[in-house]
């Protein structure tokens, strides 16, 4: 845990005796939901977007890539530039960016303009993602900080389980632009929620700021960052083009339902992780990797059965849902006093992986077809599992310190 919590929060002594501030944490979870859904929403409406804007599906898939590039390029420099900003002001600025970017996306009839709007949304995400996990920790008493992060990170599986399927349904029924208008409305409502219920915290003083890149040399940070990069790359390759994959296996009308099953399993996963992360971070990370691999294996060899595709979605969701909480917690603990800098590095690599997944997925789709996706996942998860197992002293330790959450 970063020592700025003690140094900058006068209520640190009393906060240890309080319960979790659920109204504030749920607002942060909704911010995570907004960033995650804005990023992945094109996956559910990809054919409609590509048709309307006059480009191919692989080109439209780059709307996820450009968003991730915006985040990856700006998370570290913007985190450094805004380190002294008050946290609430910074979060409100990011949410305003989402409202503006989604509005432009909703009205744009031009592919380049849409891509610019998606890049701007990614920049706003770079600000938000570098902020949210640390914000959650600072709102919670020390013994509940891991649970606070789990609550906030629940915004990701909620986006996948409810948001993307609902967006797909609404896109089919009313047009894909409607989904982006809804995202604008959500961002506006969230701004009011944050103003009303989220406590403010100061940023870091200049003498407390440390070089972000120095965190890579801290024992344990490197392995967590590697696992983040490759695990998210594997996920993004398949998730971005899930509609195209389902078209290939004659389930083109089932994208919303498959995503709903996937997201429901993700919710179960994050509930389990939230309950067990204090003592079982290493075991849960290994289990997540194996479950994800099992889902990919089912898709690789048994996709001719629709029932097996749904089983694969369940396994995939169980492996993926708790991953953000596991990785955010692992890098925060490994980073110690430099936890905030470690979080910014994780955000950057997470979105490098998102961008890379969109590009690699497009190459695979054009060169080898959609059936190559699950095999690529299996190949990528081999080094992930090896690094998690090997990092038993630092990163994913077999025994965690008493302060870990």
Question: What integer is the mean pLDDT of 148-161?
Answer: 75
Which pTM value belongs to this model? Answer: 0.73
Q: Mean pLDDT, to the nearest integer, of 220-249?
A: 86
Residue 174 has pLDDT above 50, yes or no: yes
Given pLDDT bands bounded at 50, 70 and 90, which one contains residue 207?
Answer: low
The pLDDT value given to residue 31: 92
Q: Residues 40-46: what's their mean pLDDT?
A: 78
The predicted structure's pLDDT at residue 292: 94
Question: What does the pLDDT read at residue 400?
Answer: 56
Residues 315-323 have a mean pLDDT of 90
User: How many angstroms from the chain centroid is the CA of residue 283?
Assistant: 21
For residue 301, count CB atoms less than 10 angstroms from its CB and return exposed for 0-12, middle for 13-18, buried for 19 or more: exposed
181-197 pLDDT per residue, tens: 999 999 999 999 999 99
Backbone angles phi, psi at 98, to 5 degrees: -65, -45
Higher pLDDT, 200 or 146: 200
Residue 168 confidence (pLDDT): 74
Question: According to the model, what pLDDT value does residue 123 have?
Answer: 92
**For range 155-170, the mean pLDDT:** 72
Average pLDDT over residues 263-268: 84
Q: Which position has the higher pLDDT, 270 or 89?
A: 89
Q: Check pLDDT > 70 for residue 9.
A: no
pLDDT above 70 (res 7)? no
Nearest to 198 by CA among 141, 138, 142, 155: 138
Q: Can you give the pLDDT at residue 134?
A: 78
pLDDT for residue 162 is more than 50: yes
Among 16-25, 153-162, 290-299, 358-367, name the one with the lowest average pLDDT: 153-162
Residue bearing the bigger pLDDT, 350 or 89 = 89
Residue 258 has pLDDT above 90, yes or no: no
The predicted structure's pLDDT at residue 89: 93
Q: Which tokens go with 199?
A: 């406590």
pLDDT, position 130: 76
Higher pLDDT, 24 or 14: 24
- In 10 A of CB 372, how many CB atoms? 18
At 291 the pLDDT is 96
**Token digits of residue 196:** 């009303």
* pLDDT for the residue numbered 14: 45
- Distance CA(256)–CA(90), nearest Å, equals 34
pLDDT at 46: 80
**8 vs 71, residue with greater confidence:** 71
Instruction: Categorize the per-residue pLDDT at 13 as very low, low, confident or very high, splitting at 50, 70 and 90.
Output: very low
Mean pLDDT value of segment 343-348: 80
C-alpha count within 13 angstroms, C-beta hemisphere, residue 263: 24
Which pLDDT belongs to residue 404?
39
The string of pLDDT tens digits covering residues 60-111 is 888 888 887 888 788 778 877 887 788 899 999 999 999 999 999 999 999 9
Q: What is the pLDDT of residue 273?
A: 84
Share of the chain above pLDDT 90, in %: 28
Q: How far apart are CA 169 and CA 166, in angstroms?
A: 5
On the question of pLDDT at 317 being above 80, the answer is: yes
Is 353:232 a contact under the CB 8 Å cutoff?
yes
């Amino acid at each position: 845990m970063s020592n700025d919590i003690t140094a900058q929060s006068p209520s640190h002594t009393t906060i240890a005796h309080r319960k979790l501030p659920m109204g504030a944490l749920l607002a942060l979870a909704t911010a995570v939901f907004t960033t995650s859904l804005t990023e992945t929403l094109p996956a559910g409406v990809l054919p409609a977007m590509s048709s309307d804007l006059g480009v191919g599906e692989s080109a439209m898939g780059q709307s996820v890539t450009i968003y991730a590039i915006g985040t990856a390029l700006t998370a570290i420099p913007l985190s450094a530039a805004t380190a002294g900003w008050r946290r609430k002001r910074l979060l409100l600025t990011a949410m305003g960016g989402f409202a503006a970017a989604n509005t432009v996306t909703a009205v744009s009839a031009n592919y380049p303009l849409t891509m610019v709007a998606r890049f701007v949304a990614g920049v706003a995400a770079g600000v938000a993602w570098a902020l949210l996990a640390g914000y959650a920790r600072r709102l919670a008493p020390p013994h509940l900080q891991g649970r606070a992060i789990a609550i906030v990170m629940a915004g990701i599986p909620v986006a996948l389980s409810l948001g993307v399927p609902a967006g797909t349904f609404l896109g089919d029924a009313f047009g894909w632009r409607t989904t982006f208008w809804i995202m604008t409305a959500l961002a506006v409502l969230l701004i009011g929620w944050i103003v009303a219920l989220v406590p403010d915290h100061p940023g870091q003083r200049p003498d407390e700021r440390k070089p972000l890149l120095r965190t890579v040399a801290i024992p344990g940070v490197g392995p967590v960052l590697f696992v983040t990069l490759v695990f998210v790359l594997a996920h993004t390759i398949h998730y971005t083009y899930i509609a195209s994959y389902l078209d290939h296996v004659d389930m083109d009308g089932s994208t919303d339902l498959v995503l709903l099953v996937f997201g429901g399993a993700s919710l179960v996963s994050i509930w389990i992780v939230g309950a067990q992360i204090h003592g079982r971070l290493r075991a849960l990370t290994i289990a997540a990797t194996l479950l994800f691999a099992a889902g990919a294996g089912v898709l690789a060899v048994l996709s001719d059965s629709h029932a097996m595709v749904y089983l694969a979605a369940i396994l995939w969701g169980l492996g993926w849902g708790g991953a953000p909480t596991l990785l955010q917690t692992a890098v925060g603990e490994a980073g110690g006093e430099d936890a905030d800098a470690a979080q910014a590095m994780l955000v950057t690599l997470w979105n490098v992986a998102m961008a890379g997944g969109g590009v690699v997925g497009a190459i695979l789709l054009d060169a080898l077809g959609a059936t190559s996706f699950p095999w690529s996942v299996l190949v990528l998860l081999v080094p992930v599992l090896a690094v998690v197992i090997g990092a038993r002293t630092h990163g994913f330790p077999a025994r965690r310190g008493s302060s870990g959450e």
